[in-house]
Amino acid sequence: MTRALYLAAGLWAAAASAGAGGGSTVVETTTTESADPRAAPPAEGGPTYFAEYVQRTAKDAERVTLFADGVLVRKTTTDGKVDMKKRKLAPAELQSYVAVFRATDVEEAAGTFESGMSGDELPHFRITVTKSDGHTWAIVFDALAALTPEAQRIRSAMEDLRDSFGKPHAAPGDFPPDKLVPGTILRRRDGAEFRVVHFDEHAGIVELKGLDEPYSQFFKLDRLAASFLPP
């Protein structure tokens, strides 16, 4: 496979129809990006999606797109058969992913990571993330490539979205007080891990400190399910 395999990436767009009984339709379009993963031109009228994940082999393909309206679409093509799934993220769940894709300095994850291996069965990936001004940046890699921690965090978030179809989502009841004792490790949806520092049961506030971050964050108990996996 050549390095040019991912110079073209797909872009999904959502179109909504209003009126009584009206519904929404997701359509597929394509766009050509520049060779520099940080230098793609802004989409006209602003970005229509937050992030897109594309995986390809010689025969199969998979595309996962998180649209700006919170709609998540997964399209897989296997042996010529196409399967498409769609779901709407809850506001709190959507915000937890937006916080990852629009985090300060997140663009440092951009780059091309290649193992140097080739073969028809070796999966190749491209993750494209939009900025608020419409510009995009990307991570390009193959299944055997080593990623930086920043790039791996974006990949983990996208694969969590990819695997979220058909799985029950965490609920506030999945975080009982007896599971939030100091020292408990909680895993955020993007793969980052946090240690419980303190839980104020009366106020319903949990203090967490990232294992790789030197500061504490405070979460309402009923919002933990939107951002973290159950302990």
Same domain for 223 and 156, yes or no, is: no
Residue 98 counted as domain residue: yes
Whether residues 131 and 84 fall in one domain: yes
Which of the pair, 213 or 207, is modelled with greater confidence?
Answer: 207
Do 198 and 86 share a structural domain?
A: no
Residue 176 sits in the same domain as residue 155? no
Q: pTM for the whole thing?
A: 0.60
What the block records as the tokens of 170 is: 């965490």
44 part of a folded domain: yes
Computed over every residue of the chain, the mean pLDDT equals: 78
Same domain, 68 and 178: no
33-53 burial by CB neighbour count: b if 16+ within 10 A, else e?
A: beeebeebeebeeebbbbbbb
Convert the pLDDT of each residue in 102-128 to its tens digit. 988 899 999 999 888 888 889 999 999
Note whether 66 and 135 are same-domain residues.
yes
If asked whether residues 213 and 152 sit together in one domain, one would say: no
Angle between helices 149-162 and 91-101 (to 10 degrees): 150
Kindly write down the DSSP assignment for every residue of 188-228, as one continuous string. Answer: BTTS-EEEEEEEETTTTEEEEEETT-SSEEEEEGGGHHHHB
Tell whether 157 is covered by a domain: yes
- Which residue range forms the structural domain that includes residue 216? 172-227
CATH number of domain containing 64: 3.30.1560
DSSP secondary structure letters along 111-136: EEE--S---TTS-EEEEEEE-TTS-E
Which residue has 């971050």 as its token pair? Answer: 213
Instruction: Assign residue 214 the CATH number of its domain.
Output: 2.30.30
Total of domains in the chain: 2
* Residue 204 scores a pLDDT above 50: yes
